[in-house]
Amino acid sequence: MTGRRMLYAYTWLVIAWLTLPVLIMIAFGFNDTPGRYNQSWDGFTLKWYGRVFELDELTRALVTSLAVATVTMLVAGALGTGIGYALGRYRFRGSGTVNLVMFAAISSPELVMGASLLTLFVSLGVGPGVVTITIAHVMFCISFVAVVVRARVLTLDRSLEEAAADLGANPWTTFWRVTFPIILPAVSSGMLLAFALSIDDFVVTNFTAGTTTTFPLWIWGSTRVGLPPQVNVMGTLIFLVGVAIAVTTSIRSRPARRR
Amino acid sequence: MDDRAAIELDGVHKEFVVHGETVQAVRPLDLAIGKGEFFSLLGPSGCGKTTTMRMIAGFEEPTGGTVYLDGRDVTNVSPNKRDVNMVFQSYALFPHLSTYQNVAFGLERKKVAKAEIRRRVGEMLEIVSLTGMEKRSPREMSGGQQQRVALARALVNGPRALLLDEPLGALDLKLRQQMQTELKRIQREVGITFVYVTHDQGEALTMSDRIAVMQAGRIEQLGSPREIYEKPATRFVAGFIGTSNLLDGPAGSVDDGIAVLTYGPGERVLVPVPDGVRPGDPLEVSVRPEKIDLGRDEPATAGGSVLTGVVTDVVYHGTSTNYTVKTAAGADLVVFDQNAYSAEDLAEPGDRVFLTWSAQHSYPIGVR
Ligand SMILES: Nc1ncnc2c1ncn2[C@@H]1O[C@H](COP(=O)(O)OP(=O)(O)OP(=O)(O)O)[C@@H](O)[C@H]1O
Ligand SMILES: [Mg+2]
């Protein structure tokens, strides 16, 4: 019995730990603060929600981040799915190396990756900006998508694809009509992961951005002069979208009950 | 044209290289399976049944030899272009598609018109008694129902042959027997060649027109269920199919096509042999347990085989009682006695008994 109580206490402690910062962020989006400093409670207001896009620079930074994250999600999703599928399905010359590089890319420190990417872009003579940010994001997100997809493909019953071929489907049709729909949940998890990693990436972005400002970079730049409540509002909205996606995927991936 | 075999294997064999070692999964096979035939590949685990079937379906490329379907060489044709369909042991139903969509999959690939697809899928679901389950997804169905979806999905394409790899392996005994009858009925109804892989000899015997008994990548014997059962060609077949009693010895006299093996005074085994067997030739005789009569009294007319022995074991099996008898001739013989005729046990352990059977129930193994 005490064991069970301790489990409850522990669970709630972890939940509190995880959500407290988020709750504070949400709360200060409703803070009726008079000046730029948003660090003490001055009463409840909804006005920041009406004035969320009032700061042009911040809005532009957010749009940049959303655009980069969307492109990253799509490109890394497509490339990562291809690599993950190949790694999970076939043994080919170099497949071991690709596998190793994937995990190395995931586990290598972002600082190192950012710095080396900067060197690469400079030595190639590519001016830093939205394009270099996106290239860098795609690069480090591919591995995450590939690893998630590969894990799913490894557990995929091979005879499903054989059955499709047996019923007259060519390899292309087999992939799109059978394999892809079945691994789609893994592909979308990988893509969401890529989006999430991209939209709040700071380290790699900072190295590759040049004069471009993304949402995290803007926040970092303005912490010294005080964060406007709009940042809390945008943070809250991004968080809510994330929660909504997480809830829908968990409902959809729940195994259907037998009637 | 019509006497062409539906499936023909000509010297087809398959080797796998596993960790640098070559495994002979299937040794050169010559085989012709007729149109509309129910043909079984029977054998113990690892004997190459699945590999043989996968070479017919095109999932495995033979190391050598030629595969013909309806007289056409398809050895290098990919599976999606072969006019045969397979029912997988795991069923391999598409989990994201409904029953209807699963069954329609093959017809859609052939670009059959929508209305025609609807008609044929409906018909096929009726044959496998799944009408009304069109919208269910595979995981909303029982094992037996899934099995029938897999069957319908393959059959609806009207293939030249249907390949079934232990299709009833995952079902419990009752359902298994029910599905055996059902499969046989469906096969008669659609008239398609069935190639059936199983390691269950009872299943093979009851369902097949012909059986190929495989062992270690080879066909040991090919014949009708009756031939395989009554006239096992090798020791392996005799032991693998049902229970068999084996007796060794040199032929004594050979008279009128009947050889006599003598074991002692009044103890002998009669066996019909082909021409060419001479007195003194070593013989191996198989006799099925249900053909032997067991009694405590010395048989009055001894026109057939007679052996004596001591009962060592009596096991009641419901429909029959099985006796194990240690014979003076040296072998342990098993005798099945139908309980329909015996109200009580014929003998008890320790009893001295006489075993008798007529000459035509003995079969010489490996003699041609
Ligand atoms: N892909 C493969 N790679 C290497 N060896 C294989 C492969 N497939 C089968 N074998 C080997 O070939 C032999 C025959 O296998 P097969 O699957 O045809 O047996 P089976 O008769 O179907 O047995 P079971 O009744 O257990 O299914 C076995 O020794 C097996 O280990
Ligand atoms: Mg097998």
Q: What is the pLDDT of residues B27-62, one digit of tens each?
A: 999 999 999 999 999 999 999 999 999 999 999 999
Q: What pLDDT is attached to residue B302?
A: 64
Quick one: CATH architecture of A58-227?
Answer: Orthogonal Bundle (1.10)
Q: What pLDDT is attached to residue B170?
A: 75
CATH topology of domain B5-240: Rossmann fold (3.40.50)
CATH classification code of B245-364: 2.40.50.140
Q: What pLDDT is attached to residue B1?
A: 39
Q: What pLDDT is attached to residue B368?
A: 59
Average pLDDT of the segment spanning B326-343 = 81
Q: What is the pLDDT of residues B74-104, one digit of tens each?
A: 999 999 999 899 999 889 999 999 999 999 9
Domain range summary for chain B, segments of one domain joined by +: 5-240, 245-364
Q: Which residue has the higher pLDDT, B231 or B153?
A: B153
Residue A170's closest chain B neighbor by CA? B80
Q: What pLDDT is attached to residue A258?
A: 41
According to DSSP, the residues that pair with B66 across neighbouring strands are B10
Q: What is the pLDDT of residues B268-285, one digit of tens each?
A: 888 888 888 888 888 889
Say whether pLDDT at B342 is over 80: no
Interface of B with A in 141-160 (CB under 8 A): 153-154, 157
Residue B61 CA, ligand 1 centroid: distance in Å: 14
- Say what the pTM is: 0.80
Which ligand places an atom closest to the C-alpha of B88?
A: 2
Average pLDDT of the segment spanning B162-187 = 86
Q: Chain B: nearest CA to A255, how far in angstroms?
A: 9
Domain range summary for chain A, segments of one domain joined by +: 58-227
Instruction: Give yes or no for residue B18 CB within 6 A of ligand 1.
Output: yes
Nearest-by-Cβ selection for A157 from B79, B90, B137? B90
Q: What pLDDT is attached to residue A257?
A: 47
Q: What pLDDT is attached to residue B318?
A: 83
Per residue in B55-64, is it b (16+ CB within 10 Å) or e — as a string? bbbbbbebbe
Say whether pLDDT at B261 is over 80: yes
State the SS3 of A40-102: CCCCECCHHHHCCCCCHHHHHHHHHHHHHHHHHHHHHHHHHHHHHHHHHHCCCCCHHHHHHHH
Per the CB < 8 Å rule, is B80 touching A165? yes
- Ligand 1 atom having least distance to the Cα of B54: 18
Q: What pLDDT is attached to residue B279?
A: 85
Q: What is the pLDDT of residues A158-212, one digit of tens each?
A: 899 999 999 999 999 999 999 999 999 999 999 999 999 999 899 999 998 888 8
Nearest-by-Cβ selection for B92 from A163, A181, A256? A163
Per the CB < 8 Å rule, is B80 touching A168? yes
Give me the long-range contacts of A29-37 (CB less than 8 A, separation at least 24).
Answer: A29/A229, A29/A232, A29/A233, A29/A235, A29/A236, A31/A229, A31/A232, A33/A229, A35/A226, A36/A225, A36/A226, A36/A228, A37/A226
DSSP string, A212-254: ---HHHHHHHHTTT---HHHHHHHHHHHHHHHHHHHHHHHHTS
Q: What pLDDT is attached to residue B268?
A: 87
Q: Check residue A31 and report its DSSP letter.
A: B
- Ligand 1 atom having least distance to the Cα of B89: 27
Half-sphere exposure of B367 (CA within 13 A, CB side): 23
Q: Chain A: nearest CA to B364, how far in angstroms?
A: 44
Q: What pLDDT is attached to residue A70?
A: 95
Q: What is the pLDDT of residues B285-297, one digit of tens each?
A: 999 898 998 888 8
Q: What pLDDT is attached to residue A65?
A: 93
Residues on chain B touching A170 (C-beta within 8 angstroms):
80
Which amino acid, one-letter code, is at A248?
A: T
Residue B30 CA, ligand 1 centroid: distance in Å: 19
Q: What pLDDT is attached to residue B75?
A: 93
Most A CBs within 10 Å, among B85, B105, B124, B166, to test the A interface: B105
Average pLDDT of the segment spanning B1-27 = 86
Q: Which residue has the higher pLDDT, B317 or B220?
A: B220
Give me the long-range contacts of B333-340 (CB less than 8 A, separation at least 24).
Answer: B333/B245, B333/B287, B333/B289, B333/B292, B333/B307, B333/B309, B334/B243, B334/B245, B334/B289, B335/B289, B335/B292, B335/B293, B335/B294, B336/B243, B336/B289, B336/B290, B336/B292, B337/B294, B338/B290
Which residues of chain A carry a pLDDT beneath 50? 257-259
Instruction: Share the mean pLDDT of chain B.
Output: 89
Average pLDDT of the segment spanning B299-313 = 84
